[in-house]
Homo-oligomer: A and B are copies of this chain.
Amino acid sequence: MTVFYPNGQPFKATPRSVNNNSDSDVVYGHRGMTLEEDLNVTNRYYLEVDQAVIYKKPTPIQIVKVDYPKRSAAKITEAYFRKASTTDYNGVYRGKYIDFEAKETTHAQYIPLKNFHAHQVEHMKKIKHHGGIGFIIVKFSQTGETFLLDADYLAYYWSEAKRGGRKSIPKQLFLEKGHAIPQNYLPRIDYLRVVNKVYF
């Protein structure tokens, strides 16, 4: 049950240590949440109700310098962000390996392909080749509509772009070949309901 403060702000639940990726408290409401935050809450929900085990991978960091102060934790003093070779999310659901990347676009009618990396496209192809389930989740932030689209379509648009074709995936494709993801209080972005329908 959602609890709201008198000012209309949602109740801030105590953060759980279950997810190793969210550095900050998690707000159990739905104002101004990013897709990533929504997915973290969703995945934690799936974990807590024992529906699936899916995590966001930690951000890959290249560590250059570490201080080891006496009587306190090792402190990283120089490090850089690295580009991921894989997608951000993976895990297991109904005995199947699940793998996906999630992106938001501010464009009303398309998502630019530069939101993805060549490594990620290749990674998802391999995942599917080995019998895993691979897809992207894209949120059109102007309307809040969120879709699941099989990784094959991303691979197809990617290869077309390399041959000089358009550099984005049109929203129309998500409407025709993708699947709108139901959004609720919890689970926030219920993508497993779509996975049930599409892959099982």
Q: Which A residues form the contact surface with B (CB < 8 A)?
A: 17-21, 23, 47, 50, 52-53, 55, 57-63, 73-86, 90-99, 119, 123, 126-127, 129-132
Is A80 in contact with B74, judged by CB distance below 8 angstroms? Answer: yes
Chain B nearest CB, measured from A22 CB (Å): 10
* Bound complex: CA A15 to CA B130 (Å): 25
Q: Could you say which residues of chain B place their CB within 8 Å of the CB of A63?
A: 23, 59, 61
Chain B nearest CB, measured from A74 CB (Å): 6
Is A60 in contact with B62, judged by CB distance below 8 angstroms? Answer: no
Is A95 in contact with B130, judged by CB distance below 8 angstroms? Answer: yes
Q: Chain B: which residue is nearest A90 at the CB level?
A: B90
Is B59 in contact with A57, judged by CB distance below 8 angstroms? Answer: no
Q: Could you say which residues of chain B place their CB within 8 Å of the CB of A99?
A: 92
Is A52 in contact with B84, judged by CB distance below 8 angstroms? Answer: no
One of B18, B123, B129, B131 near A50 (C-beta < 8 A) = B129
A57-B57, A58-B57, A95-B130 as given contacts; A75 in contact with B76, CB under 8 Å: no
Is B20 in contact with A131, judged by CB distance below 8 angstroms? Answer: no
One of B20, B61, B130, B131 near A85 (C-beta < 8 A) = B20
Q: Chain B: which residue is nearest A82 at the CB level?
A: B20
Is B20 in contact with A86, judged by CB distance below 8 angstroms? Answer: yes
Is A131 in contact with B60, judged by CB distance below 8 angstroms? Answer: no
Q: Could you say which residues of chain B place their CB within 8 Å of the CB of A23?
A: 62-63
Chain B nearest CB, measured from A130 CB (Å): 5
Is B74 in contact with A75, judged by CB distance below 8 angstroms? Answer: no
Chain B nearest CB, measured from A25 CB (Å): 13
Residue among A52, A80, A130 with most chain B CB within 10 A? A130
